Every structure is written in C-alpha cells, then in structure tokens.
Amino acid sequence: MSIRVGILGATGAVGQRLIQLLEPHPDFEIAALTASPASAGRSYRDASKWRVDTPIPESVAETTVVETDPDEVPNDIPLLFSSLPSSIGAEVEPAFVEEGYVVSSNSSNGRMDEDIPLTIPEVNPEHLGLIEVQRDERGWDGALIKNPNCSTITMVPTLAALDGFGLQQVRVSTLQAVSGAGYSGVTSMEILDNVLPHIGGEAQKMESESLKLLGAFDGAEVSLHPADVSASCNRVPTLDGHLENVWADLEDDPSAEDVAAMMEEYPSADLPSSPDPLIHVFEDPERPQPRMDRMLGDGMAVAAGGIEETPGGVQYNCLAHNTIRGAAGASVLNGELLLEEGYL
C-alpha cells in the first residue's frame, strides 16, 4: 500500500522535481501540495510555472494548492517533503512536526541543530537515531530530518570513501549551476557571459555540514569529523549539475588507482532511489561534465574523475545533479530510509 505524502513549497524548482520523482514512486502517493498564499486556491497547473523536462503529471495538474499551514493539510498524510525557503521552513516545519507529521526537508534551517538528523542514506543512515533524542528533547510526536545543501552532497560521498585513507584536510572550489539558486535566484543579465565568484552562505554550509555528515553518532549525539574543510563557491552559467574541484590531504599515501577503487567500491544503499554504483569514476580526465554526466543513475549518482596524486594526498573533480541528488532526490531517499526504518 502506498504512503500518502505532501509537498511543502510544491511550485518551486525543487518542488517540481519532487513531483517528477514522487508521481511514479513505488511507495509514495502525492496527496497534498502547498505553496505561498499567492498560489493557494489555484490549480497546480495554474500556480506553478512548470519547467522540468517531463510533462506535468495529469494526476497533480488539477490539484488545488493549499496554504503551508498544518490546518490545511489532511492529517492522514504521515510524510511531508519540504522545499520551502529556509526562513519559511524555520517557521512552519516545527509547527507541522508538533502536529505529528514526519518532515523530510531540503531547507537549510536547523541542519546543524544537534538533535536534527542530517543524512545521506548511503553515508550516515545511523544518524536517523537522533529522532529519538529530538522527540525526547522537544516533545514532538512527528520528526524533522534534513538533507544537506546541494554542493555539500556532491562531494561528501567521495570524502566518505576517502576517509578510509584518513581524511585530514579538504579544499574545494565549486562551479555551481543556476538552478541551485531557485527559479528567481539569478537573472540572465547577471549570469550569461559571466561567473559569480561568491554564493552567500554556501561555503559555510559546505564547511560545517560535511563534518556533521561524516561525524560519528554514539546513540545520543553526533561528534563532528575532525577534518578541516574550506570551500570557495562560484555560480556558472550551466542549468543543472554542480561540478567541484577537490583537494584532499590524507594520512595514508594511496595511489590514484587506490583512490579510484575506493570510490568505485563505496557501497550504495538498498533503497528504491539509490543508484548502483553510488560513485561513478571516470578514467577520462575530461569527465565528469555537467551536461553529459548529471543524469547518471537517473540523476542520483555522484561522478568523479581527474584523480591525481598530490604531495599531501589527492586531487579530483566531482559532479552531481543539484536539484535531483542535491535536493529533491535526496529528500525522497531520506523518506525511503524513514519508511524502511519504521518511522512512518
């Protein structure tokens, strides 16, 4: 039997990807769509400017969008996917959880809170245990779980693989697609024929979230990974797919071949949306490239290439689809993990 699910912020860039992924999903059935007061009361077709690369599903096109308020969402919907602006998420996600909903959220609010699981199911599924801590501390019946920022999620699976060689220090420079800023994020006059060498708050998210994701959970709290991560984030005129140049210092001294093998063999998860392999490693130093490789594993794989030894460790490039693996797909995967672990 399918689990009824709702989407908070269903009309946005990530919300549309959520619809695209959830409409054919084997375990989930879309049962509610919310957005801002300006969209509430309109049909989804009318309220959303549909921009993803498959037709708007007929099953959602005529659904009436409701306000993002627990009173507007039927309470027989156990799971909500949230793709709200973080200022709105910070306000309304706790209100939904207090009413007993389980919320799998993309928004950045609360990601670093000590009792909120920040998870990539293939990397740190055990952090879901923080839900018990969260319920004890906040008296919530539901649960709030987060996926990381899109640029963080692109590199962390590769760092998790490298941690087998003793990860000490990471330097990363990103080339991030315009869809990462949302539909109204970057104007064409700003980005065409141009590169924006700063994305507000993004470097700090990569530096902190990666250490929580790679941290150890002892049943009560997550201790951050001791590595030192520093990031520089750039917006480039690609549509989808974040490419990142990574330099990692390691305790051991592996060859480039050892590193490639460690990444290729890094295990995936046994969940419907997990790709196999999780990390696709290219020998061709000109790959991965956003346009050619962002849809590997239906947009859920991470690609790596250009692996070279450096005096302290290794240098390589990695890529993931920012609105699928980096956002909507990440939330859906967390929903699958919640279902598998009995939280729904």
Ligand X SMILES: NC(=O)c1ccc[n+]([C@@H]2O[C@H](COP(=O)([O-])OP(=O)(O)OC[C@H]3O[C@@H](n4cnc5c(N)ncnc54)[C@H](OP(=O)(O)O)[C@@H]3O)[C@@H](O)[C@H]2O)c1
Cite the active site residues: 150, 242
The yes or no reply on residue 158 touching ligand X (CB under 6 A) is no
Nearest-approach distance from CB 268 to ligand X, in angstroms = 21
Nearest-approach distance from CB 41 to ligand X, in angstroms = 11
The yes or no reply on residue 210 touching ligand X (CB under 6 A) is no
Task: Give the H/E segment covering residue 217.
Answer: strand 216-217
Which among 242, 238, 61, 220 is positioned nearest to 148, based on CA atoms? 242
The yes or no reply on residue 150 touching ligand X (CB under 6 A) is yes
Q: Which tokens go with 215?
A: 């941290």
Q: Could you give the CA distance from residue 205 to residue 122 in angstroms, rounded to a whole number?
A: 20
The yes or no reply on residue 9 touching ligand X (CB under 6 A) is yes
Nearest-approach distance from CB 106 to ligand X, in angstroms = 4
For ligand X, what does the binding mask look like between residues 106 and 135, x meaning CB under 6 A? xxx---------------------------
Q: Is the dihedral of CA 38, 41, 44, 46 positive or negative?
A: negative
Q: Could you give the CA distance from residue 273 to residue 207 in angstroms, rounded to a whole number?
A: 27
The yes or no reply on residue 12 touching ligand X (CB under 6 A) is yes
The yes or no reply on residue 299 touching ligand X (CB under 6 A) is no
Task: Return the residue nearest ligand X (CB atom).
Answer: 12
Output 85 or 164, the one with its CB closest to ligand X: 85
Query: Cβ–Cβ contacts within 10 Å for residue 221, how many?
Result: 12
Nearest-approach distance from CB 184 to ligand X, in angstroms = 6
Q: Could you give the CA distance from residue 85 to residue 83 in angstroms, rounded to a whole number?
A: 7
Query: For residue 145, what is the DSSP state?
Result: E
The yes or no reply on residue 15 touching ligand X (CB under 6 A) is yes
The yes or no reply on residue 323 touching ligand X (CB under 6 A) is yes
At residue 173, the 3 state secondary structure works out as strand
- Interface with ligand X (CB under 6 A), residue total 31
Nearest-approach distance from CB 97 to ligand X, in angstroms = 16
Output 74 or 201, the one with its CB closest to ligand X: 201
Output 108 or 274, the one with its CB closest to ligand X: 108
Rounded to 5 degrees, what angle do the CA atoms 94, 97, 103 make? 100
For the chain, how far is it from start to end, CA to CA, in angstroms?
A: 13
The yes or no reply on residue 35 touching ligand X (CB under 6 A) is yes
Find the farthest-apart pair of alpha carbons in the chain and give their distance in angstroms, rounded.
60
Output 90 or 344, the one with its CB closest to ligand X: 90
User: What's the distance, CA 144 to chain centroid?
Assistant: 15
The yes or no reply on residue 13 touching ligand X (CB under 6 A) is yes
Output 51 or 257, the one with its CB closest to ligand X: 51
Output 186 or 338, the one with its CB closest to ligand X: 186
Instruction: Say if residues 220 and 114 touch (Cβ distance below 8 Å).
Output: no
Instruction: Say if residues 267 and 276 touch (Cβ distance below 8 Å).
Output: no
Nearest-approach distance from CB 111 to ligand X, in angstroms = 10
Calculate helix-pair angle for 150-162, 256-264, nearest 10 degrees.
Answer: 110
For ligand X, what does the binding mask look like between residues 163 and 202, x meaning CB under 6 A? ----------------xx-xxx------------------
Q: Could you give the CA distance from residue 223 to residue 212 in angstroms, rounded to a whole number?
A: 7
- The interface with ligand X within residues 67-106 (CB under 6 A) comprises 68, 83-86, 88, 106
Query: Which residues is 7 bridged to in the sheet?
Result: 33, 81
Nearest-approach distance from CB 88 to ligand X, in angstroms = 4
Q: Which residues bind ligand X (CB under 6 A)?
A: 9-15, 35-36, 38-39, 68, 83-86, 88, 106-108, 149-150, 179-180, 182-184, 322-323, 326-327
